[in-house]
Amino acid sequence: MSKSVELARLIRDRAGQAAPEYGLILGSGLGHLSETVQGTAIPYSDLPGFPHAGVSGHVPQLVIGQLEGRRVAVLGGRSHYYESGRADAMRLPLETLAALGCDRLILTNAAGSLRADIPPGGLMLLNDHIAFAGTNPLIGEQTDARFVPMTDAHDADLRAAILAAAQAEGIELPEGVYCWFSGPSFETPAEIRAARILGADAVGMSTVPEIILARFLGIRCAAISVITNMGAGMSDEAISHDHTKAMAPLGAAKLERILRRLLRAA
């Protein structure tokens, strides 16, 4: 039996049999939502092969249960490429979601904005991305399934539903392109200028490898950035992980309202 099928069995034994309708991956400082899910929390340490170390600001546990009347599976922590040099670090958690029968995924992250009209505290819905980190989580995959089309990586129906939820909540949700940098160092001002020329609206260190893996597994995706700062060189504010964690809750409250509305409406 494959590892993910075994893990799905273990998770069903603890959290119940029903398939989650939505998977959620929560970014830095955005973990509050998982505390409000009524269900079963399983620490990653109980799930062999799930990432352990993690980054401060993340809660490394899987919570399965009800949120606004929908069954959800919330991944409270993610492993980033920069932690291990492995772009496929989230492959097993995503395979496990797929094995649980979850076919929709909403990803969240903290990001730097490249647009003056999307300031810190604001949100951005990804309508596309640029994989700028120079690697791909499917390198080494042997099957022809590795040739994943990415044209519809950011699912049109899911995005429309998220935009409608934001509008219903009266929350501004501009759309834009997210550019994946490897991190863990932040970008230089020249890299930020380059990303702007390339067509990016925000920069961050996550999400893109997870979307590639999720599409490989047939999971539909949408992603929302919580803007914690302007890109390097665009403002006088110093950029740091502490600043990211301090700023994330500003946007997180709005993000939570959108996601709750989305689940209620779905």
Q: Catalytic residues, which ones?
A: 28, 58, 80, 82-83, 110, 205-206, 229, 241
Q: Is 80 annotated as a binding residue?
A: yes
* Residue 129 contacts residue 179 (beta carbons within 8 Å): yes
Q: Could you tell me the CA-to-CA distances from 220 to 86, 123, 254 in Å, in that order?
A: 23, 21, 23
Work out which of 88, 95, 187, 201 binds ligand HPA, going by CB under 6 A: 187
- The secondary structure of 89-158, three-state, reads CCHHHHHHHHHCCCCEEEEEEEEEECCCCCCCCCEEEEEEEEECCCCCCCCCCCCHHHCCCCCCCCCHHH
CB nearer ligand HPA, residue 20 or residue 76:
76
Q: Does 164 bind ligand HPA (CB under 6 A)?
A: no
Write the binding mask 26 to 65 for ligand HPA: x where contact by CB under 6 A, - elsewhere: ----------------------------------------
Q: Does 231 bind ligand HPA (CB under 6 A)?
A: yes
- Cβ neighbors of 243 (< 8 A, separation 6 or more) are 228, 229, 237
Residue count at the site for ligand HPA (CB under 6 A)? 14
State the Cα angle at 208 between 203 and 214, rounded to 5°. 160
Write the binding mask 79 to 118 for ligand HPA: x where contact by CB under 6 A, - elsewhere: -------------------------------xxx------
Work out which of 96, 108, 207, 229 binds ligand HPA, going by CB under 6 A: 229
Spatial distance between the Cα atoms of 140 and 78, rounded to a whole number of angstroms: 21
Write out the E strands in the chain. 22-25, 38-43, 61-67, 70-75, 104-113, 123-131, 175-180, 202-204, 220-230
In the three-class reduction of DSSP (H, G, I as helix; E, B as strand; rest coil), residue 226 is classed as strand
Q: Does 133 bind ligand HPA (CB under 6 A)?
A: no
Q: Does 165 bind ligand HPA (CB under 6 A)?
A: no
Q: Is 45 annotated as a binding residue?
A: no
Nearest-CB residue for ligand HPA: 112
Binding residues for a purine D-ribonucleoside: 187, 229
Binding residues: 28, 58, 78-80, 110, 187, 206, 229
Residues at the site binding ligand HPA, with contacts judged by CB under 6 A: 110-112, 181, 186-187, 203-205, 228-229, 231, 239, 244
